[in-house]
């Protein structure tokens, strides 16, 4: 019986210690246009890519012109770890600031900010260069599920071992 308890405690400890990274808040991995970049033609959308999926409830993205006007056009689209915010006509040259609030998978709100510059005013909106590909899945969720399955197998083996022992 002591062996079974030791196996269960060790397995539970391993599971708890290894999920620490998976339970962290979402972090911004990239922004398109890139934070601090300068471009001649304005983008048609701003894309924010996070290290894990984010929720669509509560997601807000503002793209403010040099004069402070929000040029975001419509609602942000959230797909897995990517938030895409369409923008309207950017008729002012200068620095545009991006301010966003998203909710990470663990329910905590995350705020980010960045900026880019448009050098020529009045250009029609164009597709930003280097648009990131769609999300390839969530590695941390796969890790958690795999660890839970391993834990179940260990518990099942422990039960089988204890039941096969002859009674004293």
Q: Compute how many other C-beta atoms are within 10 angstroms of the C-beta atom of residue 79.
A: 12
Return per-residue pLDDT of the chain as tens, 168 residues: 788 787 878 877 777 666 554 456 789 999 999 999 999 889 999 999 999 999 888 899 999 999 999 999 999 999 999 999 999 988 899 999 999 999 988 888 999 999 999 998 664 444 444 444 433 445 556 777 777 788 888 888 778 877 887 766
**Among 48, 3, 1, 57, residue whose Cα is nearest residue 26:** 48
* Secondary structure class of 86 (helix, strand, coil): strand
Q: How far is residue 122's CA from residue 124's CA, in Å, rounded to a whole number?
A: 6
| Domains of the chain by start residue, with CATH | 2-164 (2.60.40.1220)
Question: Model's pTM, two decimal places?
Answer: 0.59
């Amino acid at each position: 019986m002591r062996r079974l308890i030791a196996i269960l405690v060790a397995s539970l400890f391993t599971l708890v210690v290894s999920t620490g990274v998976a339970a962290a808040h979402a972090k911004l991995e990239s922004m398109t246009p890139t934070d601090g970049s300068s471009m001649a033609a304005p983008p048609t959308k701003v894309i924010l890519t996070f290290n894990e999926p984010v929720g669509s409830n509560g997601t807000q993205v503002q793209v403010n012109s040099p004069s402070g006007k929000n040029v975001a056009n419509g609602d942000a689209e959230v797909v897995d770890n990517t938030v895409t915010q369409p923008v309207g006509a950017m008729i002012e040259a200068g620095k545009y600031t991006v301010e966003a609030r998203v909710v990470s998978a663990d329910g905590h709100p995350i705020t980010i900010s960045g900026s880019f510059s448009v050098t020529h005013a009045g250009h029609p909106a164009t597709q930003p260069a280097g648009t990131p590909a769609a999300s390839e899945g969530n590695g941390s969720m796969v890790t958690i599920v795999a660890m839970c399955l391993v834990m179940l197998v260990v518990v099942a083996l422990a039960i089988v071992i204890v039941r096969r022992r002859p009674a004293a």
